[in-house]
Amino acid sequence: MTRQLVAGSALLFLFAARLTAHHSFGAEYDATKPVTISGVLTKIEWTNPHSFIYLDVADEKGNVANWKMEGYPPNVLYRNGWQKDATMKPGDKITVTGWRSRDGTNWGQSREITLPSGKKMVFGPPAGTGDGGSSSVVEVH
């Protein structure tokens, strides 16, 4: 039964919307380098074409680095349940999953944020969004 429901759910996912991005996340961020970071939110930029969040993340030795994580633009977030200055605020301790920048800096693409309440919300697109996908639109022989 569970399996049937999972299969049914998977079918429904196939009917979802077609994404687009203003730029290639797949070029900027490395889909083979997932990252999960926890820290204190220091700044939120609700800006176009993409939002950014900044958080102070401490390593095991206690050294703190400020990370910058990119996400969807504000309107996309607002339409899907986010509220500016309410859903999360500087000072909140959050966890962010995503993928690292290809240049290895403390910069990444966000995907999911775990809020202080424990609630998880999507903040950025899936890995590779905007990079053209798994096959080209042309067939060159």
Partner 1 sequence: MRRIVLALLIGITSFALVVMAQNKKTSGAVPRASDGKPDLTGVWQGGSNVPGPWQEANSGLGLGGNGTNPNVPGLRSASERPPGEAAPYQPWAAQKVLELYKRRGVDDPVSLCMPPGPTRAATQGLFPIQFVQTPKQITILYEYMNTFRIIPLSSKHPDDIVPTYMGDSVGHWDGDTLVVDAIGFNDRTWLQGTGTFHTEALHVTERFTRISKDQINYEATMEDPNVFTKPWTIRSTIMLREGTRVREAVCAENNVDAARFQKYEKDGVSFGR
What's the gap between Cα 70 and its chain centre? Answer: 7
Identify the residue among 64, 81, 84, 89 touching partner 1 (CB under 8 A).
81
Beta bridge partners of 54: 43, 68
Say if CB 35 and CB 97 are below 8 A apart. yes
Closest to 72 (Cα-Cα) out of 98, 102, 105, 104: 98
If one asks whether residue 59 binds partner 1 (CB under 8 A), the answer comes out as no
If one asks whether residue 134 binds partner 1 (CB under 8 A), the answer comes out as yes
If one asks whether residue 86 binds partner 1 (CB under 8 A), the answer comes out as no
Q: How far is residue 79's CA from residue 94's CA, in Å, rounded to a whole number? A: 21
If one asks whether residue 15 binds partner 1 (CB under 8 A), the answer comes out as yes
If one asks whether residue 106 binds partner 1 (CB under 8 A), the answer comes out as no
If one asks whether residue 50 binds partner 1 (CB under 8 A), the answer comes out as yes
If one asks whether residue 79 binds partner 1 (CB under 8 A), the answer comes out as yes
In this structure, the dihedral spanned by the alpha carbons of residues 122, 113, 46 and 27, taken in order and rounded to 10 degrees, is: -70
Give the range of 16-24, 56-64, 83-91 binding partner 1 by CB under 8 A. 16-24
Give the range of 5-13, 56-64, 84-92 binding partner 1 by CB under 8 A. 5-13
Residues making up the chain, counted from first to last: 141
Q: How far is residue 46's CA from residue 72's CA, in Å, rounded to a whole number? A: 9
Per CB under 8 A, residues contacting partner 1 are: 1, 4-5, 8-9, 12-13, 15-24, 26-28, 45, 47-50, 52, 72-76, 78-81, 97, 102-103, 111-112, 120-122, 125-140
